[in-house]
Structure 1
Amino acid sequence: MLELVSDQGHLIVKAGGAADQHIARELRAHREWLRPWVRTGHAPVLLFGDEAAQILVTRYLPGTLVEGTDAQDDPETFRQAGAMLAALHGQLFVVDSEWNDRFRARVGRHLALPHRIDRETVKRVRAEVSSWPGGSAVVVPTHGDWQPRNWLIDDGAVRAIDFGRADLRPPTEDFVRLARQDFVRDPELETAFIEGYGSDPREPAAWRRALVGEAVGTAVWAFGVGDDGFEDLGHQVLAGLYAETT
């Protein structure tokens, strides 16, 4: 990512390699789903994008990353983030006839990769996944990494950046990363977020599936890149999920 100043103003330039999928997803988000946020100044304006060349250019969006600041402990930040997410999700509802099948397969692929999840937990995850429903799910436009490291705060207003994981998914997929870190840290943040969102879409059985899938993915991915702290977080979430069923 490059930050540039030109005769067109303050700009952000992103580029990806041949195997990169993030630029294509980000371009799709800008072209199809971000208009409600762009209109209100909550997301950057796309100036240029070329999927074949793996490049996009947006206007710079002012603000400071929420992660690591006092704003990350402020319920008002989460209330605004919940309201923003509701606007994104509320644009479109479609049925993906194979979403649950792909989700189950994704967890299986993760478990087939090198990891340090203990054998008993792997056994229990595989047994649970085998009981999950296949077939269709209702999906909406999702950010895919909705958490304070992708929020900006500017004079009290929350804004959104980094749409490289945007896709059509069940709405609860945008809740899992908050749940594993911020909601568990301070329940008032969860209350404020749900208040902003307007309702709680987390049906218990589907929510558990989302949490298991996220925890497995976190532990496996973090081990692969050598991020011990993040890997530990994945293991902690798994331990909590399976302690509930002992």
Structure 2
Amino acid sequence: MFGQTQPGEWEGHMAVGLDALDADQRQFVEAHVKGGRVVADHSWGQTDTVVLEVVAGPCRVIVKAGGPSNGHIAREIRGHREWAAPWRATGSAARMIAADERARVLITTYLEGQLVEGTPAQDDPGIYEQAGRLSAVFHDQYATADPTWNARLRDRTLRFLSMPHRIHPRIAEQVRQEVAGWPVGGATVVPTHGDWQPRNWLDDHGVLRVIDLGRADLRTPEEDFVRLGRQDFLRNPELEAAVVAGYGRDPRDPDMWRRTNVAEAVGTAAWAFKVRGEDFEALGHAHLGRLYPE
């Protein structure tokens, strides 16, 4: 039923408990994973999302839970229910075992593989070609018109600019001037992963698998290229070509691509400053520097 683990595989590992979960979440997990014990905490630590690896006999699962204001768990549950079927069909994504949106908790099967980020696979065009194919099948399953998309993109960018940040005043003013000229109409949106990059990919002996649907939502397809664009594509243009080849076409409209990059860079710099993620904040500032050179 769940992912299998070999006998004795977890011997010597210090088990951690479910202390990070509230009472309702613990009760939910204990009801669905009887006799389970936590063997690893995979939480990033930058948000209140908790990600735990749990072993119950020969099986292991992933438990994800969030705090009272957490919106990621609801998005992840929706992503699994509404859009993950094409990935599940090929074993590219986990299967959701149980979920409680009110309690902000879900349990999925465990996926084999090593995180692509920080490994040689992060520079392998073959991995990125697979990523292109997986994003295409995800995007192509559904499309609809969102009459408020462009207005919300503009509002989101200005909202981040209004937060405390360390964006250079020259750049902040250039952003405001540019955003004032952005369109306010609608756009075609598709299912997107929302954080499509190597830290959410697993390499299972050359086969790419996908994790973390916590930002899944209907957006323009450009949104699933933007985080690759600010880092991996810059490092090696062959990776961009591989994604496009796997996708089968380049879905990026040049004007929307520019707006998406500006919004992403501002949001990264401001949000990372708020959570004191200095490395991530530096990524946002570098992106802004490329978009608004002196």
The interval holding the TM-score normalised by the smaller chain is: over 0.9
- Deviation of 1:229 (Å): 2.0
> Shift of the alpha carbon at 1:17?
1.4
One-letter code aligned to 1:62: E
Contact kept? 1:101, 1:135, Cα under 8 Å:
yes
Query: TM-score, normalized by length of structure 2?
Result: 0.81
Deviation digits for residues 28-58 of structure 1 (CA, Å, limit 9, x no counterpart)? 0000000000011000011101101111011
Distance 2:212 2:283 in 1: 22
Specify the alignment match of 1:59 in structure 2. 109
Identity rate of aligned residues, in percent?
57
Deviation at 1:8, TM superposition (A): 7.8
Amino acid at match of 1:184: L
2:256 alignment partner AA = A
Q: Which residue of structure 1 lines up, in the alignment, with residue 86 of structure 2? A: 36
Does the CA contact (< 8 Å) of 1:9 and 1:59 recur in 2?
no
Give the equivalent residue in structure 2 for 1:180.
230
2 CA distance for matches of 1:72 and 1:47?
A: 30
Q: Which residue of 2 aligns with 1:160?
A: 210
Letter in 2 for 1:60: Y
Alpha-carbon distance in structure 1 between the residues aligned to 2:290 and 2:214: 29
Paired amino acid for 1:182: D
**Which stretch of the first structure deviates more once superposed, 140-149 or 201-210?**
201-210
Cα deviation for residue 15 of structure 1 reads 1.1
Which of 96, 115, 136 is the matching residue for 1:46? 96
Instruction: Using CA pairs under 8 Å that are at least 6 residues apart, name the structure with larger relative contact order, 1 or 2.
Output: 1
- Equivalent residue for 1:3, pick from 19, 40, 53: 53
Q: Structure 2 CA distance, aligned partners of 1:229 and 1:2?
A: 24
Paired residue secondary structure (2:68): coil
Q: Hey, what's the Cα distance between the residues in 2 that align with 1:58 and 1:177?
A: 25
AA partner of residue 261 (structure 2):
L
In structure 1, distance between residues paired with 2:80 and 2:174: 40
Where structure 2 has 5 or more consecutive residues not aligned to the other structure, the ranges are: 1-50
Aligned to 2:21: none
Distance 1:231 1:26 in 2: 25
CA RMSD of aligned residues (A): 1.1
Residues 4 and 12 of structure 1 are in contact (CA less than 8 Å); yes or no, is this contact kept in structure 2? yes
Of 148-157 and 1-10, deviating more is 1-10
CA apart distance, 1:226: 1.7
In structure 2, the partner of 1:170 is 220
Q: Is the 8 A contact 1:66 1:152 kept in 2?
A: yes
Query: How big is the shift at 1:10?
Result: 1.5
Instruction: Give the CA deviation at 1:211.
Output: 0.6
1:104 correspondence with 2:124: no
1:149 and 2:199 matched = yes
Q: TM-score normalised to the size of structure 1?
A: 0.97
How far apart, CA to CA, are the structure 1 residues paired with 2:194 and 2:155?
18
Output the CA distance in 2 between the equivalents of 1:8 and 1:17.
Answer: 30
Greater fraction of residues in helix? 1
Q: 2:138 aligns with which of 88, 97, 100?
A: 88
User: Contact 1:33/1:88 (CA < 8 Å) preserved in 2?
Assistant: yes
Which residue does 1:212 correspond to in 2? 262
Structure 1: which 5+ residue stretches go unaligned? Answer: none
Q: Following TM superposition, by how much is the alpha carbon of 1:7 offset from its aligned partner in structure 2, in angstroms?
A: 5.2
